Amino acid sequence: MAFKIFGKVNFTPYTKVERFAEELRDNKLMGTKCKKCGEVYFPPRADCTKCMSDEMEWRSYSGRGKLVTFTTIHAAPTGFDDIAPYTIGVVDLEEGGRLLAWVEGIKPEELKIGMELRAIPQIMEDVEELKVVYVLRK
């Protein structure tokens, strides 16, 4: 299990939506859509909460979206002290669903709720276990 330390390791490769991590490594951001009722999920889900179906199809995301809210964390939890302060943004994605990630390349004071941002796949370190995996940029 990759979730050895609470920190910058994502354990998605060990879930029913493992394909998300594989695609992300190939620079693609993917969500799921229920084959039965059409409900769209980002973050991806393997099971539909709406109609309870477990038949999903994958669809690709542009990563484009609008900033819903943000914060800059100064008091960091264990495992993140080395990168504090860091800014976290939440965006509503153009293709549906919502994403939370670090904001990179934009000063916190330049962030405005409603502005357009793009989630970009990013491999943090070249290791066997896929590390955190997308960031928000202009």
Q: What is the SS3 string spanning 102-132?
A: EECCCCHHHCCCCCEEEEEECCCCCCCCCEC
Pairwise CA distance, residues 53 & 58, whole Å = 15
Distance (Å) of CA 8 to CA 51, 89, 109, 113 = 33, 16, 25, 26
* Shortest spacing between CB 74 and other proteins, in angstroms: 5
CB of 98 to other proteins, least distance (A): 4
* Shortest Å distance, C-beta 138 to other proteins: 18
- What sign results for the dihedral spanned by CA atoms 39, 30, 135, 117? negative
Nearer to other proteins, 39 or 53 (CB): 39
The alpha carbon dihedral of 73, 75, 78, 83 has a sign of positive
Cβ closer to other proteins: 36 or 46? 46
Neighbours of 15 (CB within 10 A): 14
Least Å distance between CB 72 and other proteins? 4
Please, which residue, 53 or 100, has the CB nearer to other proteins?
100
Identity of the residue, 6 or 138, whose beta carbon is nearer to other proteins in the bound complex: 6
Q: Give the footprint of other proteins on this chain (CB under 8 A).
A: 3, 6-12, 15, 42-43, 68-81, 83-84, 86, 88, 90, 97-102, 108, 113-114, 132
